[in-house]
Each structure stands twice: as C-alpha cells, then as structure tokens.
Amino acid sequence: MAAIIDLSGTVAVVTGGTRGVGAGITRALLEAGADVVTCARRPPERPVEAAGRTAAFHPLDLRDADAVTAFFTRVRDRHGRLDTLVNNAGGAPFRMLGEGGAARHARVVELNLLAPLTASLAAYEVMRHQAGGGSVVMVGSVSGTRPSPGTAAYGAAKAGLENLAASMAVEWAPEVRVNTVVLGPVRTELSHLHYGDEDGIAAVGRTVPLGRLAEPADVGDACVFLASERAAYISGASLHVHGGGERPAFLDAASVNK
C-alpha cells in the first residue's frame, strides 16, 4: 500500500496498536510514511517497527475520559497535528450471556463502544481546528451484523459502533471523515485461543470464500486507504474486510447438488 499511498507528514494514533490487528495497522501506517503513536494499558514487549521506523507508545486507559483528553492534547502539542485515529482497541472473552453478570457484559460494551466514543470526541477537538481536518476509522466486526452467541455484548457493541460512526460522519462533516472497517476472522498470535491448533485455524479459513483468514496487514492496508486522500469522498461507509463473508449454512445443509 505504501507504494501507491504516501502519508508522509501525517500523524496517526492507533489504540491498542501494539499487537495483533492493531500492530498490523500500525505497521501499515508506518510503511505509508505516517508518524504513528500507539496507546494501550500495558507497554508492548517490543516496539512496533516497519520500514525502518518505530511507532511511539504511551500507556493509556481508554476508559478514563480525562486521561484520554490529556493524551490527545499531548499528541497535538508534540506533533503539531493529528490526521488519523484508528479505534482498534477492544475484544471480549467467550462467555455465554447466562454465565456472566450484567456488570461483566457492561465492561465489554464500555471497552468496545464507549471507549472509541471517548477517543473520537477527544480526537475531533484536535482535528476540527486544523487545516485538512482528519479521518477516524472504527474497527468493527461481522459480529455486529449477525448473531454473536458467546460474545453477545461484544456483537451488540460493534453494532452500535458502526451506527455511531455513521452518525459522526454526518455531524462532523466536512472537517472530519468517519468510516468503519468491518472485520471477519483475522489470524494473529492469539488465534489459537479462538480456533485451536493449525488444523483448526485452517478449517475456519476454509469457511471464508477467499479460503483463508485475514492477515493483520490486510486490515492495515484498508485503514491506510481510508486515512488517505484517495478516500477523500468516503465518509459514513462500512468497508467489509472479511474475505467474502460466510457461506450460508443452509447451502451445506441442503440435499440439492450433493
């Protein structure tokens, strides 16, 4: 992506940008020339690097609104501007609704919906006062567009996040564009926790029309595009990065053509 999109001179923040999908997004932005600042509650085991460049890191609890505001103020003061925010931080353990109390499920919603809202509001206060405005990218999930047993609160939060992005795109135009990348399964260093061994991962990949799980770099390339001038007229959109989605179960269950 860096060969055709140049983000040199721009500044990006990637929440949860130190591992997994977030690290893939961070690397893609670095490769495209952006200066990248990552944040998470805990520092990474090693800095995220790409193309001979290294992302900065700041510890941050995205659930602390005052700390989030202070963080984005520091980014602006140190770098002079903020062009891109990728709201990547999130996730949830597998837990059926009846196995966890309301407070546990509420924490999942807080991390996956309220934290991106808090970060976006703080970023908007920086972006709207600068020439060129900015771009916010929400990292959504197919779990927000279909039933999500075992991660119901996560799915509900991701559904809300996509709607939130669409509303932000209307309210914050024309200064700030807001879009969502809707992800299917992504292969990361934690995939074994969700899908088991290599055979399990491969089996899940075969359910995707393109025949494999996404790589973090695939997600990163989509985020680079949405951050760039090539997406200057794209706002309020949901870009599906899911390899074609899921083959409908009824096709495999039907007796026709078997």
Q: Which residues are catalytic?
A: 154
Distance CA 80, CA 10 (A): 10
Distance CA 224, CA 85 (A): 11
Q: Quick check: helix, strand or coil at residue 49?
A: strand
Residues 6 or more apart whose CB falls under 8 angstroms from that of 29 comprise: 7, 12, 14, 36, 84, 86, 220, 223, 224, 227
Q: How far is CA 108 from the centre of its chain?
A: 15
Q: How far is CA 102 from the centre of its chain?
A: 25
Distance in angstroms between the alpha carbons of the first and the last residue of the chain? 41
